[in-house]
Chain A
Amino acid sequence: MFKPDANACAVRRRMLRAGGALLALAVARPTRADANELQAAIAGYTGRREVRPGRVTIDVARLVDNGNAVPVTVRVESPMTAADHVRAIALFNERNPERDVARFALSERSGRAVVSTRIRLATSQQLVAIATMSDGTLWSGAVDVIVTLAACIEGEG
């Protein structure tokens, strides 16, 4: 009867484990690359300044039927006075062909820190908004959306 020696078994086990790890890497990689790209795009915008989570909310349907025109509203908690207001809001996406969506410039003349627009979403992904305050601090908010009909690649407009 065939009796595998302990050494061969160990080798086989090791190879299996390595194969499993490789498979896990192949499956996980696209998402990780997209997230890295998103982080890189945000870092390119913020420079070396620290970004704190909070004060920014993105209002968007969590389940989007049509990715060609998705209404989005970004709100920032701010008194919007001359001394303390939102100077800029930048909106980024995770998995469209380009990471930028739009950048808005506000001032104390705005009176409220809220901007609405309609955007395209190529697939289910994360949206991130970064607000720059008049004191130079940066705040961020994020939201995950599920898209059933993709924009950019298929369909009109």
Chain B
Amino acid sequence: MARALITVPQDAKRGDVVEIRALIAHPMETGFRVGADGRRVPRDILRRFTCRLDGEVVFAAELFPAVSANPYLAFPLRADRTGTLSFTWEGDGGFAQTETAMLTVA
């Protein structure tokens, strides 16, 4: 399991637009670099990120090798109800990881 850091504001009021931040530890190996043995390092990237609120997709991203190592994404969400946010990363070599966080709306 890769280490993931998720930031969801805890003091959201109904109707507020909050910023959600998600970061995951991943090398995002581009497939263009040459290793110490002179051979090309095979590509290993995260290709897709999806954020869902109680199962409904609220934000998604397709990532390419131009995204930095340890991909960081910050995106807005209108807080109109309390629910469970799930964050899913999918990538090369069958990588799949899901984290969850609570969105609490006052």
- The reply to whether A102 and B63 form a contact with Cβ atoms under 8 Å apart is yes
What residue in chain A is nearest B63 (Cβ atoms)? Answer: A102
A106's partner among B53, B59, B66, B69 (CB-CB below 8 A) is: B59
Closest B residue to A107 by beta carbon equals B58
B78 closest partner in A (C-beta): A111
CB <8 Å contact, B62 and A103: yes
- Do A105 and B60 have beta carbons less than 8 Å apart? yes
Q: Count chain A residues whose beta carbon lies closer than 8 angstroms to a beta carbon of B.
A: 33
B interface secondary structure, majority: strand
Size of interface on B: residues with Cβ below 8 Å to A: 29
- Extra contacts besides A105-B59, A109-B58, A117-B67 (6): CB < 8 Å: A97-B30, A105-B60, A105-B61, A109-B56, A110-B75, A120-B65
B residues lining the A interface (CB < 8 Å): 17, 27-28, 30, 32-33, 53, 56-69, 71-78
6 tightest Cβ-Cβ pairs between the two chains A and B:
A111-B78, A111-B17, A157-B69, A116-B74, A112-B76, A105-B60
* 12 A–B pairs (Cβ distance < 8 Å), ordered by A: A97-B32, A98-B66, A102-B63, A103-B61, A104-B59, A111-B78, A115-B75, A116-B75, A118-B68, A118-B71, A151-B68, A152-B33
